[in-house]
Chains A and B, each alone.
Chain A
Amino acid sequence: MKPDPARYVHGTDAPWDEFQVVGKPHRKVDGLAKATGEAVYADDIQLPGMLHAKTLRSPHPHARIRSVDTARAEALEGVHAVITGADLPTKYGVIPWTPDENALATDLVRFIGDEVAAVAAVDEDTANRALELIDVDYELLHAYLEPEESLERHDPAIHPDNKKGNISKHVELSFGEVDEALERAEAGELTLIEDDYTFHGTTHAPIEPHCAVARYSPDGLLTLWSSTQITHYVHRTLSAVLGLDPAKIRVVQPCLGGAFGGKSDPFSLEFCVALLAMRTGRPVKMLWTREEVFYAHRGRHPMKMHYKTAADAEGRVHAVDAKILIDGGSYSSFGLVTTYYSGQLLTGPYDFPAYRFDSTRVFTNKPPCGPKRGHGSVQPRFAFEVQLDEVAEAVGVDPIEIRRKNFQGEETETVNGQRITSNGFLECLARVEEASGWRERRGKLERGRGLGVAGSMYISGTNYPVYPNDMPQAGIQLKVDRSGVVTIFTGGNDIGQGSNSMVAYLVAEELGMDVAHVRVVAADTDLCPVDLGAYSSRVTFMVGNAAIDAARKLRAQIVEAVAEAWEVEPARVRLVGGRAIDLSDSERSIPTREAFQIAEVRFDTLGSTGSYNTPTLGGDYRGGTIGASPAYSFTAHVVEAVVDEETGRITVENCWIAHDCGRAINPMLVAGQMEGSAYMGIAEALMEEQEVNRFGLHRGPSLLDYTIPTSFDTPELHALIVESVDPEGPYGAKEAGEGPLHPSIPAISNAVYDAVGVRLRHLPFTPGRVLKELRAARESRAGESP
């Protein structure tokens, strides 16, 4: 039995047994501001005298810059400054171990769209004209467009300083007796399924293009407003690249128009507007075009994967062996982490007695890949969940049943040393099984219609900050006003997922307040304590725990002061419903505002801080902490798909999404994350592809060519929330924003198998590919029949 959490929070003798705020749907703290157009996004910022900047980009996938001549551009009327790579020579990268990017190319350009020069002018039209007047002399180099080629040769090297040629990162880890199990399979004692799987490249396509505005004040303070999800890392990197004291830099994230991982690197435009503002003494804005957003990319890595799974006659997995080739594009970005994640995050929700992966990330002359929702683990998850269906078929076990059989359990440790706490995966399976009518319908629907299942797990942040340090990973400050308002200062980046609302709900719950009396100031390095950023699904878990920590300290002071004033034991004083009440005397209560004032008299100006740091986690081996999370979320999907055998078109009609988020702090927002994740995954499988042609040119850098789903393309999404109540999560909460993407893709493949009997192992599932598979299946059937 888990402790009743409400009583745990509010005290066992609290006269209410429900949370006051948590677990209920609420408005978002910034909802109406967004609904009315009042919310300010980066490009909405207009400063007096502001200049507009534009970027010159490489037209070649791989070339050496012999010279850049900016004289003609500088001479154009209305141009205030032109900068090139020589002005920003310091290399950087979001992972400090792999600094291989320059804000503007210094010697090599590495993909079509790589940044070469930037211009600040009175308006965008003038800046664009100036770009045409910059003369760049390029020496063309061989372009690597296939990852296999980058494995084989490295002359010319994409990063000449890299000691491993064109290999960005290689990780090989083995746990348990993999070879032994494979030998038993060889000997016929175990079933072995072995196959190749391909995941293509996809990109985030947030509706807001990247934008940054810089102001360099006369006192030498640089302020940068940027559409970033990592304010703190941008702050650090700006300081390093500009050679400025970090105390002279303030980074602010305004309202953000979507990111999904696509705004979690420091980007060229942030350095360019900063330097241009310093050079000109005027504020400078750069807004990327939609085309430029496709070049900035940092999206899903294409992966070529080879998997072997050995299982016994009951369908129990004995060993999994994976070999993965990862196409990283032109820069490292988070690639070191991606390479680990491609293996480390597969060891749940199923128990693997033995597991090995061998992942290699290579550089190619394409837009750089990075973290997209479900970073590094969506691709292997696809491969494995399809393979698990193949195992189920081979041993004659129902696909949901085989997932149940291999369930790893709660409070356990994975084969690679990751600690699992709460685990609601079985309930997830039960929920989608029931809601989809699986037992009655699977395998029994008319030809062309099928059901498919898949499961997954994901991290709620990890204990690996991108630069090693022992300071808290998340911090919160609370400030109390005599009006009864509490203001939360948080470094957390609200990227639309609702993290500002989440902290407001938690503080309101702790202090027994109306959410409307809680204000949030976020993601401003001058005003807010550090949080590492919105990535790895860490925000609810870490910032949420920090908020609770701060609120409890404050609550203790308020309760103590009121108890003293009433001359009663503090245990009798409770904060609830906007009041401080006396549990033993129902006549006695005062509004929270008065309680705040009493406490201010007693303790002086009120405020508190709170923080969160992960416990020591992870396996005792190199890389063992990467992917080690204080809590894992679990998901199961059932997809209902229809295959048109004439056109090869797959239509997903329904997707049941059961997600164990620990606890839904606001179920409405959790459902929104689940639906948004699933829809994005389905689109990756059926509609989207980030690809270059044989010249290295992006195939269609627009929202017309890169087709993200419209309202017509989106299936019925059924969000089923499962709450396992994690022992360490804030009120038991875990992540909800990334996990629910994973199963959508393999579940479609598995549904197609149920519908028409072909296995789709290579993404995307285009009509052409489906037709080819159908034809191959027909031919092999014809070949078999006598």
Chain B
Amino acid sequence: MMATAGKIRHITPAPEPTPRRIEPVAGVPLIFELSCDGRRGADGPPRPDGVARGADILGRELCREDLAGFPELSEPQVLRHFLRLSQLNFAQALQFYPLGSCTMKYNPVLNEEMAALPGFAGLHPAAPEHLAQGALVLMERMEATLAEITGMDAVSLAPAAGAQGELAGLLMIRAFHRKRKELRHKVIIPDTAHGTNPASCTLAGFQVVVAKSNKRGFLEAAEIRRLASNDVAAMMVTNPNTLGIFEPEIREIADALHETGALLYLDGANMNALLGVAKPGATGADIVQLNLHKTFSTPHGGGGPGAGPIGVKRRLEPFLPMPRLMRTADGLRFDTDRADSIGRLRSYHGNFGMLVRAYAYVLALGGDGLAEASRLAILGANYVRKRLEEKFPSATSEPSMHECVLTHDLEKRAGVSTLEIAKRLLDFGIHPPTIYFPLVVAGALMIEPTETESREILDSFVAALEKIYDEALDDPELVKGAPYSTVVSRVDEAEAARHPILRWQPKEQ
């Protein structure tokens, strides 16, 4: 169950933001600073009299000294501390959180209950497979569902997140070429790509070749044809791309790659635009990863956990990571003996807890609801884009899919930066969009409203941005000083990097 705390930030159309800093709030002490010798927040396990202590059984030479500095608090003190911390956060459940590329949609509360069912939460990963058939059936259904949605032939649920899905896909590409006795060293990546794409390439041993998108913000097949060669193993494309545009030449790009023996990897982080609209498989993709923590509503958790399943076309199936789910006469089991597999990405079978949540989501929406979700997500992005077009014009003239990338002239006109606009939005109780990404758009504001936000919310966001625009012209210092209403004022990130303090240490006596 998810609960929300008392500190609800009301969002109204263009509220009166706090002009200057409200009175300083005392920060929450660190848990270590609340500690008091001799307290504890969990009772020890029952220990019969006369049992030799563990430390004596092992012998002192194997054991550590006391855990100096470790916290000592009662249970209610620990709860209060973390509840207070929770109240310092913005969150999707509390307010509009239109972070582009992150798909901050509603995370259904039922899904948490489903993942916590004792038959799932208490299931040991090494339990005999015949006692885990319910979990395995859920995984099998999830594989089939994702295959249907993406138009791919086989799916692995093993990767822990999108970036691990990318790594798996790229290692498969490597293995695929190697099997055909081909050495290919390069992967083409567009200039709009997410940072994990080039980072995953390096990890998989490939050199990155950057493809330029055209003035309109998409890739031209001619450019890919120019870059393709028998040293190119694959291209990674995000579709819709990070400008929120459906790549119109994706099929020709796939053909150009395939003609030279290269593969097309599709970064499916933006799948929320494509449900029932277009299947990556039909666009020519050989491999696609999905971020269940985006399109499939599993909570982002302040940075995970998520899950990054990958779907592939038949010819790549032998290379899928371990373990593979397999149906036999005696039911489902894991196949751990596959000669061409790229191997393991992690221990055991994947982030099963996230798969349960995603499956609950898919059941709730169904094929019809998923298709509706994408269309409403696209409507929201286009609505925001249209309503803001005067003050924050779109970076592209192409139609938007589920997100829009906007620009502004406030830097020139008032010396106010995108970062400062983002910080000012916090005073309106709104989490800012993704900023300065994609890198090809100077000062970008990347807005992804998602299908679960209402028109009133979108209107209030539009009103807030318009108001900030006017403020920037009238009183730029006001915007530059933001935020004023958050628990801390502008945080000095440069100082944090100059003098890294990365842990608490007891004060010298």
Q: Do A and B come from one complex?
A: no
Chain B residues packing against A (C-beta within 8 Å): none
Chain A residues packing against B (C-beta within 8 Å): none
